[in-house]
Structure 1
Amino acid sequence: MAITEINEYAHLTDADVEALGAELEALRREVEADRGLRDVRYLRRTILAQRALEVTGRALLLGSHKRPLWLLGTGSLALAKIIENMELGHNVMHGQWDWMNDPEVHSTTWEWDMVCASPHWKHSHNYIHHKYTNVVGMDHDVGYKVLRVTRDEPWAPKRLMQPISNIVLAATFEWGIGLHDIAVGDVLTGKKSRAVGIPQIQEFGRKIGKQVAKDYVLFPALTGPNFRHTLTANLTANLIRNLWAYVVIFCGHFPDGAEKFTVDTLDNETQGQWYLRQMLGSANFRAGPAMAFMSGNLCYQIEHHLYPDLPSNRLAEIAVRVRALCDKYDLPYTTGSLSFQYLKTLRTINKLALPDRFLRDTADDAPETASERRFVGTDRALGLKTAIAEVRRRRRLRRRASA
């Protein structure tokens, strides 16, 4: 099922893993020492662009009864919300700009433009997800408690609804993220202390109230007789932001090659093994400068997982170095076009809606679930990238022989 021995899976010795970790740590220190004015300028320009887009969108929607103005205003507002969510909110709350000691862009003070309260997200994402990345049973982002994305989770009849659940989650992504850390069901059943859960639910309720009042009452009301048109524009902008955030996040975590791990891998985990788990458990997608910016630079999800608190504008240059290290240690560097990565993710979600008896690949050698047992019978002297290619070659030959 999931990987239990990460060094064995990676075809690296203990010394290799620690050498890799040392090189990645040296890269971190190099970037930290180089942070400065160009990074500050990037952040300030991003904030200025985001605010200009939002003001422009709100102004255009004063005439939202006219379809061209509705379209332009909705588009501008959607872009502003995407930038605020992806390149600002997500990255600021990761602490990427804390080194500036500016309270306006500090992880402890930023509250983003979505219904999820920032303290809840920082706990479920910064702490749980990034510490226990893709560890089954520990990282709740593995399927978001809604989807089965690995065979390590037993099939249940409710999974037949997974294709529909996936669509609902995509459209309401900010609400799913908002509920993620609260675990209302656990509060109701007593698995989570009411002393902890009730205040969280109340804080979530207050954040919902602020967002609903702003987007669906105040700003529509400011457009007077165009209230209904502006209301639909705001709903549409939020929907676009939700769908985009969903696609970006899913393409970084669930395509083929984003591996899963058992809890056993955490036993005495070294820094090198933590770095290795981030590299094997994440996936990138190819993007030009504009798409990278709109994704919050999460097209470099591998690099983000290696260095979640380094400024996002540095990930493109870091990626060149990380890819070179993958080549040096014969490790896969999982990437592809956005559409290709999402189609592979969608295939996994729809496929795992079915009981395991309908699935063709083995539980140790499937596109979405693999373990070190997939390499039985292969040359252990091979590196991981080469070994995976050899396993795939043998599989193709077996299928041709049986055809």
Structure 2
Amino acid sequence: MTITADQTAAKPAPGPLTPAPIPPAGTKRTGVLPTQGRPVERPAAAAHLTDQQVEELGDELDAIRDEVLAQRGAQDAAYVRRMIKICRALEVGGRATLLFSRFKPAFVLGTGALAVGKILDNMEIGHNVLHGQWDWMRDPDIHSTTYEWDFVAPARGWQHTHNDLHHTWTNVIGKDRDVGYNILRVSEDQPWKLRDLGNPFVNLLLAPLFEWGIASYDLEWDMVAAGFKSKEAFKKDLNAFKKKAITQVLKDYIALPLAGAVLSGSGRRALIGTLSANAIRNVWAHSVIFCGHFPDGAEFFSEEMIDGETRGDWYIRQMLGSANLSGSRIFHTMTGNLSHQIEHHCFPDLPSNRYIEVAPKVRALCDKYGLNYNTGPLPKQLASTWKKICRLALPNELPWQRGRAAATA
């Protein structure tokens, strides 16, 4: 759940709390989380904390957020506008160069520039604009209600499944639909199914086609089948997807190759270049996002752990359920600062360029309260994520292990 400035300022009077019923899957939680009380059950990694400590942790994280909001201004605005200029220059330059891509240097340079431009558009600009991180600027070109990104998934549908649902029910089994995106088993708490044997192969296919996988996922086919989403709403979302897909295909796979063919006989090379640029962007986005959510050490939660959840407990869930990537400032920019996934989950609407300065403060609080701060370089986290996906292709306990356990009981 995105905690807004109004929500962090509101602090209900102390008193006994009656846990609210858990909304059905696919529902956005509304209202302000209480600052006092306790959930029915806390995660094992936070079981050592008292209610008072959890409340104090929430207050300290609120203070970090409020400090950034108070400082937010011209420097932040200049940053995002600079990123947009760089992104657009790379995209235009990459496409223009691919028009002459029958020459090998032009093909390599054009594909690379377009891929980097698409990564910046998707990660550092699109994802963060659609979170409302720049709404305070009142610029309609980068406002969360009007922005549309260079990604086949329509922005409004993605905002629903990502902002409203994933950030509300982060890593809660049965409520966060981003846990495996309905096609992968990424937690031991997910019941094993025969189809999970294909876990590694599905993930290998998903990586280069990530934007199409996300677009399909955002349609919520399973919610329609389960009766949680009306056929009318599904048809509306499907039409939006068709419109966006046609636009993307025309721009990348028809208009550019056709122009290349006319200008320099580079049609085929231009097509391969745009296909490659999109595949590079998709693999990169997939890797960064999966490393932020699914490596070893990223925890998952039961519905009991959010029954009666306080704001401090919500913060704890975000920190324990996320993982960071270490690297240089350029690396962080190329990830859309989602290399600071812990900070992003705690403060999804803060300007992304601020996560790098917020991260040491959040890590210090984790140390202070005895909470794990999961971080590491990309190769380590990516290997951990793939190892888990391969391991979870099999049941938690194999048949011969169950038989051995029964024989020794």
Q: TM-score range by the shorter chain?
A: 0.7 to 0.9
Question: Which residue number corresponds to residue 281 of structure 1?
Answer: 321
- Aligned-pair distance for 1:9? 3.5
The TM-score, its normalising length taken from structure 2, stands at 0.85
Deviations 1:9-50 (A, max 9, x none): 311011100100000001111100100111011011101100
Question: Which residue number corresponds to residue 202 of structure 2?
Answer: 165
| Aligned: 1:5 with 2:45 | no
CA distance 1:326–1:282, shift in 2 (3 Å):
same
- Aligned partner (choices 322, 343, 346) of residue 383 of structure 2: 343
| Aligned: 1:34 with 2:85 | no
Deviations 1:84-108 (A, max 9, x none): 0000000000000001111111000
- Aligned partner (choices 231, 235, 241) of residue 275 of structure 2: 235
- Aligned-pair distance for 1:360? 12
2 CA distance for matches of 1:108 and 1:360? 54
- Aligned-pair distance for 1:358? 3.2
1:42-121 alignment, distance < 5 Å: 42-121=79-158
- Aligned-pair distance for 1:190? 5.1
1 CA distance for matches of 2:401 and 2:182? 24
2 CA distance for matches of 1:296 and 1:71? 24
Q: What amino acid is the match of 2:201?
A: I
1 CA distance for matches of 2:166 and 2:176? 5
Question: Which residue number corresponds to residue 234 of structure 2?
Answer: 197
1:105-254 alignment, distance < 5 Å: 105-187=142-224, 192-223=229-260, 224=262, 225-254=265-294
1 CA distance for matches of 2:149 and 2:282? 14
2 CA distance for matches of 1:170 and 1:69? 26
- 2:153, 2:218 within 8 Å by CA — same for their partners in 1? no
- Aligned-pair distance for 1:117? 0.3
Question: Which residue number corresponds to residue 318 of structure 1?
Answer: 358
Question: Which residue number corresponds to residue 372 of structure 1?
Answer: none
Question: Which residue number corresponds to residue 6 of structure 2?
Answer: none
Q: What amino acid is the match of 1:278?
A: Q
CA distance 1:157–1:348, shift in 2 (3 Å):
same
CA distance 1:191–1:304, shift in 2 (3 Å):
closer
Instruction: Return 5+ residue gaps in structure 1 as ranges.
Output: 363-403
Question: Which residue number corresponds to residue 268 of structure 1?
Answer: 308
1 CA distance for matches of 2:308 and 2:225? 35
CA distance 1:229–1:352, shift in 2 (3 Å):
same
Deviations 1:57-85 (A, max 9, x none): 11211211111110100000000000000
2 CA distance for matches of 1:235 and 1:302? 32
Question: Which residue number corresponds to residue 393 of structure 1?
Answer: none
- 1:148, 1:353 within 8 Å by CA — same for their partners in 2? yes
Q: State the percentage of identical aligned residues.
A: 52
- Aligned-pair distance for 1:238? 0.2
2 CA distance for matches of 1:127 and 1:185? 17
1 CA distance for matches of 2:209 and 2:354? 31
- 1:7, 1:17 within 8 Å by CA — same for their partners in 2? no
- Aligned-pair distance for 1:361? 11
CA distance 1:179–1:52, shift in 2 (3 Å):
same
- 1:4, 1:261 within 8 Å by CA — same for their partners in 2? no
- Aligned-pair distance for 1:4? 7.5
- Aligned-pair distance for 1:279? 0.6
CA distance 1:27–1:352, shift in 2 (3 Å):
same
Instruction: Return 5+ residue gaps in structure 2 as ranges.
Output: 1-38, 403-409
Question: Which residue number corresponds to residue 26 of structure 2?
Answer: none
- 2:40, 2:306 within 8 Å by CA — same for their partners in 1? no
- 2:154, 2:215 within 8 Å by CA — same for their partners in 1? yes
The TM-score, its normalising length taken from structure 1, stands at 0.86
CA distance 1:140–1:361, shift in 2 (3 Å):
farther
2 CA distance for matches of 1:129 and 1:12? 25
Q: Secondary structure at the match of 1:63?
A: coil
2 CA distance for matches of 1:359 and 1:164? 23
1 CA distance for matches of 2:271 and 2:338? 30
- 1:255, 1:341 within 8 Å by CA — same for their partners in 2? yes
Q: What amino acid is the match of 1:176?
A: G
Instruction: State the Cα RMSD in Å.
Output: 1.8
2 CA distance for matches of 1:355 and 1:316? 39
Q: What amino acid is the match of 1:311?
A: P
